[in-house]
Amino acid sequence: MGKGAAIILPTWRARLQYITQGVEMIHQGYRKYTDTIFQIPTVNQNLLVLPTKYVNELKSLPETTMSSSQAVADYFLGSYTTLQIHLFGHVVWDVTRGQLTQNLGNHVEPLVDESEYGFAKEMPACEDWTAVTVHPTFLQIVGRTSARIFVGKELGRDALWLETSIDFARCIFLGSGILKVVPAIIRPIAALFSPYMWRIRQHHRIARKLLIPEIVRRREQAAVTPNWKSRKPNDMLQWLQDASEGADARPERIVDRQLGMSFAAIHTTTNHLANVIYDLAARWDEYGSELRAEVEEVLAETDGQWRKTTLTKLSKMDSFMKESQRLNPPSALSFNRKLQTSYTIPSSNPPYTLAKESYIAVAAGPISLSESLYESPTMFDGFRFHRMRRAPGGSAQSHQFVTTGLESMTFGHGKFACPGRFFASNESKIILAFLLLRYEVRFEDAEKGGPTAKGAEATRPKNMIFADACFPDPNVKVLFKRRAD
């Protein structure tokens, strides 16, 4: 570790406390050391939390200096969970920043089609007010829409692939979380007996059984099909195959990367959507009609046809999503890096050297609640960012859900900001548009039963905390009622 960082609690005590109070510890540290580097002993590593003043000079440093991929692999105990760095190496980054983002317009129609299919498969009829457990229901819908773009329509609707791609991430989250609280000296033994580690290995076997024949089939077709370049599938599996060379082109490696993409995409988007739906259900009368009207208005401009521009025009929805994320970030930290070599921060005075093997991050959660950035920062204001774009000096491109900056770092910032956020944004908007056009949503009145009365604001359920991570409660039910056609 570099010298000079403030330590907010003795190590042994802090490690235990971090499991259940990590988010609050980060907030406390930020309030006390806003403009100073401070150190937090997390569950399995010591972490340096940097002020944002250093971000711009660090954001473009290469992976050989400080690695975001290695930080993720270590955070999830990749040597046990198989979430090794090759699952997030340059091939995945290049494909996500390149082909996935460049094909956002081409994938609107398939996402709409799969959302239609997913709602039909996963949602009950809801002819009257019907309780729906939001998280597991929308986990299946997001799993389906993601799979459509990742592996194509046929494989994407395979029940075994859906179960594998969804449960793989769940096992990594839960398995690594449990292993982190086990002393490192006995962690290898604990991993041998962990059912989550068994299931992770099983999911690798299943994924290879399902995807390798498809990879081989496509390679054979490429060898005999004229103009294959213009006729080949336009999905993540094909992009990964095209971008992989040498040892990375082995089918097993391509499958591993595809599992890594599913890990990164499905649960994060589902958690975000669950938070948005909880916020919407708690404030339906205030926001529901206006958000629906916006969807209807932009669709009317294209005679009901979904296009990429349709999604970019959903300014109020984008604002609502960003506000929900601001108050319910997936983690109190972002910009996570592991130092691959020692590095002295150029602007630090006195000079501060980040030691090799040390971990750094930025307190993104506390930053999003800063009174210097937002008026009434702890209050939910669904159209906050919509108004900010239209204020003097604002623009339609500013304060977007996908925008990163020193004041909005949930997705990170700079060269290694989350490259899949543009896809996740489009996917989320399409699913939310389906919900708004087809349903009314409310929380149940705990005392009277049935939906909360019109004009009454329900209490939004509290999130669940593990270390620095923040999750929507997966057991919460929301009442849905189908609108009359």
pLDDT of the residue at 1: 44
Note the pLDDT of residue 84.
Answer: 83
Q: Render pLDDT for 62-116 as a digit per residue (tens, 0 to 9).
A: 999 999 989 999 999 999 999 887 666 788 889 999 999 999 999 999 999 999 9
User: Which pLDDT does position 456 carry in this prediction?
Assistant: 63
Distance between start and end Cα atoms, the chain: 62
Distance, in Å, from the CA atom of 76 to the CA atom of 179, rounded to the nearest integer, reads 9
Distance from C-alpha of 53 to C-alpha of 348, rounded to nearest angstrom: 10
Give the pLDDT of residue 46. 79
Whole-number Å distance between alpha carbons of 428 and 146: 11
The β-bridge partners of 6 are 38
Relative to beta strand 477-482, strand 130-133 is: antiparallel
Running DSSP on this structure, what letter comes out for residue 332?
Answer: S
Do residues 170 and 202 lie in contact, with contact meaning Cβ atoms separated by under 8 Å?
Answer: no
CA distances from 140 to 120, 173, 340 (A): 12, 17, 38
Instruction: Give DSSP secondary structure letters for 190-216.
Output: HHHT-HHHHHHHHHHHHHHHHHHHHHH
Cα–Cα distance measured from residue 319 to residue 398, given in angstroms and rounded to the nearest whole number: 11
Per-residue pLDDT tens over the stretch 412-449: 998 889 999 999 999 999 999 999 999 999 998 755 66
Low-confidence ranges of the chain (pLDDT < 70): 1-15, 86-88, 446-451, 453, 455-457, 485
- Distance, CA of 68 to CA of 337 (rounded, Å): 5
CA-nearest of 158, 134, 399, 114 to 280 is: 134
Sign of CA dihedral 183, 188, 193, 199: positive
The pLDDT of residue 184 is 84
Q: What is the DSSP letter of 96?
A: I
